[in-house]
Chain A
């Protein structure tokens, strides 16, 4: 999987939007951009994924740059429950012959201030 780069930590205030950046300058044309998050003392959970177009779901939005070399996860109104480590991961469904273990980096530790 191609490498991603994320800030080590970010801080935001409760009920404000949060923009979590991810750089993936070596992304290939078939890599999907996935986001998972890990709340304290829990396993990771899926947040959202996309290929080229921006995506929205009940948890977040994903904005993908036109050249696909970067993306931003947007939490529209952060709550204290959104405090977690957020991981940006590239996955290519056309590689690996079915081997699709997630390659996690260190992620971004999001701190939410009340």
Chain B
């Protein structure tokens, strides 16, 4: 069974530029999550989707971050404009449904200069 796919794996941008990350969850997984992991810390939830609807985006900085999950499958996370403190690994995870085991992708490492 294929795992959660993410791209790109690495991205370097300058502050105030925009960037987008893509996630393809495990087939059949209705729930999709985006996490941000700053160096030395545990991952922090940014947003949770159930199919193509948002369940929880309470920790998403909505002035600069946006996410969508069209057709309830793939998802994109966008940052516009990026700040230095956005440098982190962005992890996508999926699960069959809420409260099931979450499967994580390899992450996208973002460096903002």
Is there contact, CB below 8 Å, between A102 and B45? Answer: yes
Q: Considering the chains assembled together, what is the distance between the CA atoms of A85 and B44 in angstroms?
A: 15
Q: Which of B40, B45, B101 contacts A101 (CB 8 A)?
A: B45
* Count of A-B residue pairs with CB < 8 Å: 59
Cβ < 8 Å to B, chain A residues 25-71: 36, 41-46
Contacts of A97 in B (CB 8 A): 55
Q: Which residue of A lies closest to B101 (CB)?
A: A46
Is there contact, CB below 8 Å, between B55 and A43? Answer: no
Q: Considering the chains assembled together, what is the distance between the CA atoms of A10 and B98 in angstroms?
A: 32
Interface centre among B35, B44, B99, B107 (most CB of A within 10 A): B99
| A114 beta carbon closer than 8 Å to chain B | no
Q: Smallest Cβ distance from B6 to chain A, in angstroms?
A: 9
Contacts of B41 in A (CB 8 A): 104, 106
Q: Considering the chains assembled together, what is the distance between the CA atoms of A44 and B98 in angstroms?
A: 17
Q: Considering the chains assembled together, what is the distance between the CA atoms of A93 and B95 in angstroms?
A: 14
Q: Smallest Cβ distance from A53 to chain B, in angstroms?
A: 19
Contacts of B40 in A (CB 8 A): 106
Q: Considering the chains assembled together, what is the distance between the CA atoms of A99 and B43 in angstroms?
A: 16
Apart from A101-B56, A103-B45, A105-B42, list 6 A-B contacts with CB within 8 A. Answer: A43-B106, A96-B56, A100-B31, A101-B33, A102-B43, A107-B42
Residues of B within 8 A of A (CB): 4, 31, 33, 35, 40-45, 48, 50, 55-56, 91, 93, 98-99, 101-107
Residues of A within 8 A of B (CB): 36, 41-46, 85, 87, 91, 93, 96-107
What are 18 of the A-B contact pairs (CB < 8 Å)? Answer: A36-B102, A42-B107, A43-B93, A46-B103, A91-B99, A93-B98, A93-B99, A99-B48, A99-B56, A100-B31, A100-B48, A102-B43, A102-B102, A103-B45, A104-B41, A104-B42, A104-B44, A106-B42
